[in-house]
Chain A
Amino acid sequence: NAGVTQTPKFQVLKTGQSMTLQCAQDMNHEYMSWYRQDPGMGLRLIHYSVGAGITDQGEVPNGYNVSRSTTEDFPLRLLSAAPSQTSVYFCASSPQGPEEQYFGPGTRLTVT
């Protein structure tokens, strides 16, 4: 099993550009989530999904979109990048709910 994979590992965007952060898991997990991690602020939940076709907002959803068309994939879209979205982004998955999540290696995003 590859576990949770994220691409790209690093990305630099200019303000106003859009992009998609990819996340995939091969463990047949129903629950998937996206977090951002900023210095001194811990992990903050952006969006989550409890199964294919079902998504919901977390603590900091503004400026981000998600969709879940398959069990395996949960992409995060930045609609119009802003410097405030400079952060490290983690995707995670777990069998049913947010308990005991498996995290991916992260994507470090810089918006200039």
Chain B
Amino acid sequence: EDQVTQSPEALRLQEGESSSLNCSYTVSGLRGLFWYRQDPGKGPEFLFTLYSAGEEKEKERLKATLTKKESFLHITAPKPEDSATYLCAVQGEWGAQKLVFGQGTRLTINP
């Protein structure tokens, strides 16, 4: 059974204070790992797809990286508008038409 665990559950940072969110996964053959951002009261919004260990993707202050067991979402010099819940999901070989999501990390950036 594919599983995704995200840590920490919640993270509070000061504006400009860089940090990383973790997504650990077990999957029967990884087809893709996905990061989404979710603002309160809204649906998730797609950020990145990673396919293989060593791959990296960047968007503004966010950089996602992937190893064989986990993915990190690095946030560099965050701003208050980066406050959101960040969700990680995996697509495995056996459940190729399904995503399995982690429980999310709630990030708060204080000005």
Q: How large is the interface on A (under 10, 10 to 19, 20 to 34, 35 or more residues)?
A: 20 to 34
- Say yes or no: A98-B43 contact (C-beta < 8 A), given A42-B87, A42-B104: no
B91 within 8 A of A: yes
Closest Cβ neighbor of A4 among chain B residues = B43
A-B CB pair tally, cutoff 8 Å:
57
Residues on B with beta carbons closer than 8 Å to the beta carbon of A98: 91, 97-99
Produce 1/0 per residue, A41-57, CB < 8 A to B.
11111001010000010
Q: A104 and B97 in contact (CB under 8 A), knowing A99-B32, A99-B91?
A: no
| Cβ contact within 8 Å between A106 and B97 | no
Say yes or no: A103 contacts B44, CB within 8 Å.
yes
Contact A100 B87 (CB under 8 A): no
- A105 in the interface, Cβ–Cβ < 8 Å? yes
Q: Which residues of B contact A90 (CB under 8 A)?
A: 43-44
B101 near A: Cβ within 8 Å? yes
Q: Who on chain B is nearest to A9 by CB?
A: B41
What sequence of 0s and 1s flags, for each residue 17-60 of chain B, a beta carbon within 8 Å of any chain A beta carbon?
A: 00000000000000010100000011111100100000000000
A residues contacting B by CB (< 8 A) are 4, 31, 35, 40-45, 48, 50, 56, 58-59, 90, 92, 97-106
What are some 23 contacts across the A-B interface (CB < 8 A)? A40-B103, A41-B103, A42-B4, A42-B101, A42-B102, A42-B104, A43-B87, A43-B99, A43-B101, A44-B101, A48-B97, A92-B43, A97-B91, A97-B96, A99-B34, A99-B49, A100-B34, A100-B46, A101-B99, A103-B43, A103-B45, A105-B43, A106-B41
